[in-house]
Amino acid sequence: MVVDGGGTIDSFRRLEEDSTLTRAMKASDVRRRLPGKASADASEQNSPEEGAKARLGDKPTTQSVSWTPIFLLLLASKVLSAFLNIIHDCDETYNYWEPLHYLIHGYGLQTWEYSAEFGLRSYLYLLLHAVIAFPASLLFGDGPGKVYTFLAVRLGLAILSALSEAWLAVAASRWMKSRSLGWLTALLLAGGSGTFTASTSFLPSTFSMYGLTASAAALLSNRPATAVALAAAGVTLGWPFSILATVPIVLFALFTGGFWKVFAAGAVALLGTLVPSALIDRFFYGTWQVSLWNIVRYNAGGGGDSHLYGVEPASFYLRNLVNNFNLALPLALVAPVMILLTRKPGYGRLLVGIAPLYLWLGAMSCLPHKEERFLYIVYPLLCLAAAASLAFLPDILRHPILRRLIQAVQTSLVILTLLLSASRTASLLINYSAPFPIYRHLASPAELAHARAMMSARHAAEVTRSGLMSGDQTAEVAHSEYLLRHAHSLSPAHIAYPPERAAVCVGAEWYRSPGSFFLPSSEHRLAFLDEGFGGLLPFPFNGTAGGTRARPGYFNDRNRASPGQFLSDQSRCDYRVDFRRKGEGGRDDDDLWEVVAERPFLDAAKSPALSRAFYVPGWSAAKNKFGTYRLSRRKR
């Protein structure tokens, strides 16, 4: 079968020339009516292509926004997210924060994807964050200051997010010569609940979001080669499946920006990221691994059956987008119609810039396994599309009276959207933020002193009872020798919880733990209790068996629980974190524990959907039901 590539190229060029010619014709009409302005912009008298190149770089005009206020607005909102945002997905904790903690501090939890047998995760992606985490750890240490290393990484993500989103807002404003488009985009990006959540999440989909956002900005800045290079980097350094979302931008750039020049830029970006990724994975996994290929092969080859990790209906993403973007969602969905109705100069390239939103949303909705984080990559483009609908609304009705009415509607929609977004963000923080302060309580002086006294008192007795000591060996030497002799046969409990460690135990609440960065010392370890979860949980990285190069037999790729993943002897637990519903009866061993900290936490099962999704002072508290999130310590 022969594909008519020339027809595709001509189609893209016609779309570009049509929008550029429309801009030139409107500008020419303005000059005819305003003779004094005839020579104000010489580029308008050139051919459409030459006019576009001269006019549509990064130079600001009186009709566009300036960079500094937009960037500062977005940076302020992202920094707020860095300090206040919760962890929304356990994958963020166990697939990214925990391995990063292991690289920086020498201990942490490992998921099956990081086993050298499977090699699904990229260590290059982790090292990009270690660039911030490692110097921060030198500054803040291996104790309670680890939480500041956590915040330092988040602040780095906040800056990347602010840079990419500010570029998008400014580039769209300059391309369309619309101050309102730039400011509306920035306001929705800064105030949107979805962007608040996604912008500082330590996830590959967030990194791909940065890449796609910057790629769309580069396209609107008339930099097609840069657009393709950024799209390629976002795919290879972030989430490989996001390649689908980049297709409209890449094809448009290839066929309108000089095919071979743009192709070369994309190829250099691919090689410049894939080669270091393969070399770094070779070092950490100990064998030649291409994690990018491994994860694609696993999912495409049937190993990643959706039912293993949950199946959601087709409406799942639309419901989540309503919660996170409220009125901005319908505005974004009708944006192509609004853009085509107004046909403002440059509309063709703007349509291409937001096209990934619709392609990605449609494709992801068709897959059975759905997670909110999968949509992160198009969140900024959703804000741009919604802003375009709002900005172009007054141009549909040109009668002076109707225009004033439409402008009033426009302002009302913006205010209501931002208020609903703030309500959604407040709901998430008020209802679900308890784990952060609960785990941070472990670092209080009283708890640190208690942990040291408790470990000191039981150390010699427990080591002697375990039969590890012989002669005049110290406990630490005996334990180390024992691990070396039996590294491949020991259960994770022997490796992670020797007598000198304080075990912080979680059962049903394992997926809400913020991880080892919130444990206050190298003597504290997270341990799992069997409270009914039937899937595979992380295990401690086993340094004595090879660390990142190990192929532990307790891992599998079918999400089957491993016998050793739970701490069988619950008397080894020094602390326990759990959630208690209001009116729920006590546990049999409650008399062995004393509560040292607790915070209210939403009981979602007993709370109405609307009041738990959006926070309204007074009303939400009256409607919602709360339990308590608890930190308890074992009585001496």
| Local confidence band at 446 (pLDDT 50, 70, 90 cut-offs) | confident
| Local confidence band at 457 (pLDDT 50, 70, 90 cut-offs) | low
Inside any domain, residue 228: yes
Quick one: pLDDT at residue 437?
95
pLDDT single digits (tens) 47-90: 333 344 444 445 666 678 899 999 999 999 999 999 999 999 99
Quick one: pLDDT at residue 587?
80
Domain count, the chain: 2
Q: What's the whole-number average pLDDT of the chain?
A: 85
| Local confidence band at 265 (pLDDT 50, 70, 90 cut-offs) | very high
Lowest-confidence segment of 11-25, 204-218, 262-276 by average pLDDT:
11-25
Residue 343 phi, psi (nearest 5): 45, 50
Inside any domain, residue 350: yes
Quick one: pLDDT at residue 14?
53
DSSP letter at 56? S
Residue with tokens 């909110």: 372
The 10 Å Cβ neighbour count of residue 80 is: 16
**Is 298 a residue whose pLDDT tops 80?**
yes
295 and 153 share one domain:
yes
350 and 206 share one domain:
yes
Distance CA 212, CA 215 (A): 5
Which of 348, 380, 396 represents a domain boundary (last residue)? 396
Inside any domain, residue 222: yes
The answer to whether 103 and 130 are in contact (CB under 8 A) is yes
Inside any domain, residue 225: yes
**Is 201 a residue whose pLDDT tops 90?**
yes
Quick one: pLDDT at residue 206?
97
Quick one: pLDDT at residue 539?
94
Report the sign of the C-alpha dihedral through residues 587, 593, 595, 599, in that order.
Answer: negative
DSSP letter at 115? S
Q: Walk across the sheet containing 573-580 and list its strands.
A: 524-528, 502-506, 573-580, 626-634, 593-602
**Is 185 a residue whose pLDDT tops 90?**
yes
Q: How far apart, in Å, are the Cα atoms of 605 and each of 88, 313, 621?
A: 18, 19, 15
DSSP 559-586: -PPPGGGS-S-GGGEEEEEEEE-TT---
Q: 527: part of which helix (H) or strand (E)?
A: strand 524-528
Burial track 207-220 (b if 16+ CB lie within 10 A, e otherwise)? bbbbbbbbbbbbbb
| Local confidence band at 407 (pLDDT 50, 70, 90 cut-offs) | confident
523 and 375 share one domain:
no
SS (H, E, C) 296-341: HHHHHCCCCCHHHCCCCCCCHHHHHHHHHHCCHHHHHHCHHHHHHH
157 and 293 share one domain:
yes
Quick one: pLDDT at residue 601?
97
Looking at the chain, the whole-number percentage of residues with pLDDT higher than 70 is 81
385 and 514 share one domain:
no
pTM for this model (two decimals): 0.86
Report the sign of the C-alpha dihedral through residues 206, 210, 216, 219, in that order.
Answer: negative
Lowest-confidence segment of 81-85, 589-593, 595-599 by average pLDDT:
589-593
pLDDT single digits (tens) 480-521: 444 444 444 445 544 455 556 788 999 999 999 999 999 998
Quick one: pLDDT at residue 307?
58
387 and 506 share one domain:
no
Q: In a 10 Å sphere around its CB, with 0-12 CB exposed, 13-18 middle and 19+ buried, how is residue 319 labelled?
A: middle
Query: Side-chain half-sphere of 613: how many Cα atoms within 13 Å?
Result: 13
Inside any domain, residue 528: yes
Inside any domain, residue 553: yes
Higher pLDDT, 229 or 464: 229
Closest CA to 504 of 572, 457, 566: 572
SS (H, E, C) 584-629: CCCCCCHHHEEEEEEEEEECHHHCCHHHHHCCCCCHHHHHCCEEEE
Q: What is the mean pLDDT of residues 347-363?
A: 96
**Is 9 a residue whose pLDDT tops 50?**
no
Q: What is the mean pLDDT of residues 458-464?
A: 56
pLDDT single digits (tens) 300-335: 765 556 556 778 888 899 999 999 999 999 999 999
Quick one: pLDDT at residue 405?
84
pLDDT single digits (tens) 521-556: 888 999 999 998 989 999 999 888 899 999 998 999
**Is 294 a residue whose pLDDT tops 80?**
yes
Quick one: pLDDT at residue 514?
96
Quick one: pLDDT at residue 585?
75
Quick one: pLDDT at residue 116?
95
Strands 593-602 and 573-580: unpaired
**Is 575 a residue whose pLDDT tops 50?**
yes
Strands 539-540 and 626-634: unpaired
Quick one: pLDDT at residue 122?
94
Report residue 625 CA to chain centroid gap.
29
| Local confidence band at 576 (pLDDT 50, 70, 90 cut-offs) | very high
Domain that holds residue 537: 502-634
388 and 514 share one domain:
no
| Local confidence band at 402 (pLDDT 50, 70, 90 cut-offs) | confident
Which of 339, 363, 396 represents a domain boundary (last residue)? 396
Query: Is residue 63 helix, strand or coil?
Result: coil
Quick one: pLDDT at residue 30?
42
385 and 518 share one domain:
no
Q: What is the mean pLDDT of residues 145-150?
A: 96
Strands 524-528 and 502-506: parallel
Distance CA 136, CA 132 (A): 6
Query: Is residue 429 helix, strand or coil?
Result: helix
Inside any domain, residue 98: no
181 and 302 share one domain:
yes
Inside any domain, residue 325: yes
Which of 352, 369, 396 represents a domain boundary (last residue)? 396
Quick one: pLDDT at residue 590?
81
Quick one: pLDDT at residue 462?
54
Q: What is the mean pLDDT of residues 242-255?
A: 96
